[in-house]
Amino acid sequence: MNRDDAFKILTTFLTNENLIRHCLAAEVAMRALYARLNPEFKKEEEDVWGITGLLHDADYELSKGHPELHGLLLFDRVPNQIPENIAHAIKAHNYSYTKVIPETPMDWAITCADQLTGLIVACALIHPEKKLTPLTPEFVIKRLNQNGFAKGADRTPIKQCEEKLGIPLEEFVTIVLTAMKSISPDLGL
Ligand SMILES: [Fe+2]
């Protein structure tokens, strides 16, 4: 599976522009986390991580109203097209419902980064410019520690970056924020 195939699948099942942008944010975050965690960088492997981010919420509209099915439905619709390691990470990123437990660094990377990309978008939207450019990691962490802010963003998996990926929280936020800034026009921010 290449990136173009994955993007076609994504846009077949997802129509909401903001959700597609969220998936693009997760893709670029995953690519950056791959590079951070794998000094012996391999382009094919980076693509695997990127595609995992891109497709992790592809069934979001299909599973609307059924959170227990989120992460599972894509594989009914496109059987045998998605490699098993990518499928496992996608199922595991919703493990509190799917009961597919994250195991590999890639599984944990999408689980930890997913909620952070949403929190970062919420941070951008409260800036007068509504842009990613002025955001600093410190600003994002300050908001992360305010539980009343962006309540939909679950802080628990974000903070698990330290235990599960071995990346300190501030560095984790910096990596994901920098990655998102690199595609800010695609994110509309
Ligand atoms: Fe997501």
User: Mean pLDDT of successive 10-residue segments in the chain (189 residues)?
Assistant: 96 97 98 97 97 98 96 93 97 96 98 97 94 97 96 95 98 98 97
Write out the DSSP string of 32-100: HHHHHH-SS--HHHHHHHHHHHHHTTTTTTTTTT-GGGTTTTHHHHSTTTS-HHHHHHHHHTTHHHH--
What pLDDT score was predicted for residue 72? 96
Kindly tell me the burial class for residue 7, based on how many C-beta atoms sit within 10 Å of its own C-beta (0-12, 13-18, 19 or more): middle
How many angstroms separate the alpha carbon of residue 4 from the centre of ligand 1? 20
What pLDDT score was predicted for residue 42? 96
Residues with CB under 5 A from ligand 1 (ion): 57, 114
Please state the domain count of the chain.
Answer: 1
How many angstroms separate the alpha carbon of residue 40 from the centre of ligand 1? 27
What pLDDT score was predicted for residue 109? 98
Look up the domain containing 130 and give its range: 3-187
How many angstroms separate the alpha carbon of residue 116 from the centre of ligand 1? 9
What pLDDT score was predicted for residue 107? 98
What pLDDT score was predicted for residue 79? 87
Q: Please give the Cα distance from 175 to 7 (Å, whole number).
A: 23
Q: In 3D, which of 15, 20, 21, 100 has the Cα closest to residue 62?
A: 15
How many angstroms separate the alpha carbon of residue 133 from the centre of ligand 1? 22
What pLDDT score was predicted for residue 22? 98
How many angstroms separate the alpha carbon of residue 31 from the centre of ligand 1? 15
